[in-house]
A and B are shown apart, each in its own frame.
Chain A
Amino acid sequence: MMPSRWLVSVVDDDESVRESLPDLLRQFGFAAEAFSSAEAFLASDVVSETSCLLLDVAMPGMSGPDLQQELTRRRWKIPIVFITAYGEGSVGPRLLARGAVRCLVKPFSEAALLEAVRAALGRPCSRPVTAT
């Protein structure tokens, strides 16, 4: 059942994150894909292969929490690690309460990233039967 390389998808409107994070994830041995918006990720063909989603909170258009809700609505169960540049505020606990695995505050360390992704991969991952 376990794929040979875990696919970690990164969704963030910030270009430096999209450039840097997949490279680091690949260094860890994961496969990585980056998307500039939630809409682009939903439209892609990797949703069903994604084992962990690194998701920005604040994005123009569909936000990170919006995507989280949309996936729930579509019965996609993908473990999500939120990443946000807003350190303060109470958004983290709320996201965790809604099922997120971790909420990382930018800038985060390599260790924190690896711990969060591993925790996410430990979570069950499921998809609706009718989905492709």
Chain B
Amino acid sequence: MTAQPATLNGGWTGFRAAVNGDDGAANTAATDLINLLDAVEVPIVALRRDLMIAGFNEAAADVLRLSPSDIGRASRDISVLAGVPRLEEQCSQVIASGVESRAEFRDGDRSFVIGISPFREGDRQVTAAVLTFTNVTAFRASIDQVIYERECTKAILNAVADPMVVLSADDRIQSGNRAFYAMFFELASLRTQLSEIVAGSHAYQRVEVDHVFPGEGQRTLILHARPLSLPGHPERRVLVTFEDITARKQSQVANDLRAIAERNDGLRRSEAFLAEAQRLSLTGSFSWRVATDELTWSDQLYRIFEFDPGMPVTLELIGTRIHPEDVPLLNDMIERARGAGTDFEYEHRLQMPDQSIKYLHMVAHGTRDEDGRLEYIGAVQDVTARRLSEQALGKAQSELARVARVTALSTLTASIAHEVNQPLSGIMTNASTCLRMLAADPPDVDGARETARRTIRDGDRASDVIARVRALFTNKESATESVDLNEATREVIALLLTELQRNRAWIQSELAHDLPAVTGDRVQLQQVILNLLRNACEAMVDVHDRPRRLLIRTEREDGDRVRVSVRDAGVGVDPQNMDKLLDAFYTTKTDGMGIGLSVSRSIIESHHGRLWAEPNDGPGATFSFSIPGDSESVYGRDTAMRPS
């Protein structure tokens, strides 16, 4: 290596030569040593006793920016080394004392620790100082980081309200947050618990402690203990945090007390509600254990059966109250219930000691306990009032039907009377005139003849009316014949004309010329038309702001059907009520009975047709029926039906 007078090696060469003198074998060893030093990354500089640079390695050349020409120069003349305070002084001391020393050195971002060691000759005399520059930049940065982290953590922990402390195995405080020191907690008083916690083998422990604080009284604390694993510290450390649950515990107790009070109160109230509800709804409840026939009744059920409260209830006792006609029903019910175990519902009567009748409606729900034993829970309602009113309603309905028929009849009678009275009036007046003309002097024979003729004509008119009425109401068997609905409609209009006029209704008819004949009962179909017209007329009674216009129309429909529709300008019908309209007894009118529409529907249906109502675009409604024409009629005598 000496053959290569490298610049740096030259420095060492010079240093070595200056120290040891020239020697062949030693020269080889020195070259190896110099190479070794150059391989070391730590900068190394040697200073002579006079603090002149004796040599340096490659790392030093790089870091301290030294060149071979710096060998022999005073260290103070090297700008980098000159920046280290008291370096020369320290080096002199080391050389003088032979004791190592240390200095710190910062070069830009980099930090170094300078180790100053004495260099001893063979005679142990210190002849030089060796400076090693250890780069601690990363080390220092990590220390700064650790300090920063520690300060942050400390700030956080000190802000936490819960006291925290790290204890050593002998219960000594290692570290605590501010809250811990503010607590004035006497650890000594918890010696036993703390020892157990620290010695405990559990990963996490939770201990509730009641502790009396001077001036504050007793508080409840939860001690959470967690073992800490700290790298490089094999000793056992335990982190203990203290949670003060005094307030929470107090409010929980208060809540529990309140909840219990509310539950009791609620229970009392719902019991009271139930009893009241049972009393008001006339509903009693029972339970029935089928296997033992053990029956439990509510107070209301005792009242319904009129047994003394608390009396032991048996099926036999119940049997004494059952209406004799319903006893088989009850027995059947009991038999079914014993087997089925499913929910069931029954209605039966009671016969009370005073012979009065009660109607009961019972609903029961079957349940089974863990052992599979069947028990029914049920409700029994006294529906006597409802049943009685239903019966009364039924009676009222039939009465209503009778009244409706009578009313319809009296309306018709008035109409017929009017029709007959008109020509009768003519007859009487003409007859009087005739008599007077004949009694005149001289008799007015021509005038008398004319009035007599008019009398006969009015008589014919009266008998026409009677014939029409007879045609409508003769109670002959349902006559199936070919009917011209145009003609039938005209007759009905003629019969109703006066009534329509009296109601200020303007009737307009649009009768199709090409109307096919239908097969059916002429009188029945005329009754339907009559009903529809009268119904339309009644719907317009309260109309004052527009003409009471009534349009009756006959039309030929597809498939040779015939449609007759009656359109009014009345109050109209609610689409939702359309279906109900045709039901018996439903009416939108205050004085109508509605029965006419249901009878009409039966008639039309017996003619294989249908009857319907629809609201108009404008005011009012249109009622129509449609029946098959002759060509497609399926009407047969045996399917004919007389209206009831």
Chain A positions near chain B (C-beta within 8 angstroms): 13-14, 16-17, 19-21, 23-24, 27, 58-60, 63, 83, 85-89, 105-110, 113
Contacts and interface: CB of A to CB of B under 8 A. Distances in A.
B432 interface: yes
Interface string B497-508: 010011010100
A110 B432 contact: yes
B422 A59 contact: no
A86 B425 contact: no
Contacts of A108: 425, 428
Interface in B544-590: none
Contacts of B429: 17, 20-21, 23-24, 107, 110, 113
Contacts of A85: 417-418, 421-422, 425, 498
A60 B454 CA distance: 24
B41 to A, nearest CB: 131
Contacts of B506: 60
Report which residue of A19, A58, A107 has the largest number of chain B beta carbons within 10 angstroms of its beta carbon: A107
Contacts of A110: 428-429, 432
B424 interface: yes
B454 A86 contact: no
A71 to B, nearest CB: 20
Interface in B403-451: 414, 417-418, 421-430, 432-433, 436-437, 440, 447, 451
Nearest to B455: A20
Nearest to B436: A27
Contacts of A109: 428, 432
A113 B501 CA distance: 25
Given A16-B425, A20-B454, 20 more contacts: A14-B426, A16-B426, A16-B457, A16-B458, A17-B422, A17-B425, A19-B454, A20-B433, A20-B451, A23-B447, A27-B432, A27-B433, A58-B501, A83-B425, A85-B422, A106-B424, A107-B424, A109-B432, A110-B428, A113-B429
Interface residues on B, range: 20 to 34
Contacts of A63: 504
Contact of A86 (B414, B423, B428, B430): B414
Give the interface SS of chain B, mostly helix, strand, loop or mixed.
helix
Contacts of A19: 426, 454
Interface in B320-350: none
B461 interface: yes
B202 to A, nearest CB: 106
Contacts of A105: 421
A23 B437 CA distance: 10
Interface in B127-155: none
Contacts of A106: 421-422, 424-425
Interface of B: 414, 417-418, 421-430, 432-433, 436-437, 440, 447, 451, 454, 457-458, 461, 498, 501-502, 504, 506
Given A19-B426, A21-B429, A86 B436 contact: no
A27 B437 contact: yes
Nearest to A20: B429
B503 to A, nearest CB: 9
A23 B433 contact: yes
A86 B430 CA distance: 20
B426 A17 contact: yes
Contacts of B424: 106-107
A110 B451 CA distance: 15
A85 B447 CA distance: 26
Nearest to B421: A85
A107 B458 CA distance: 12
A110 B428 CA distance: 8
A108 B454 CA distance: 17
A49 B627 CA distance: 58
B422 A23 contact: no
Nearest to B502: A58
Nearest to A111: B432
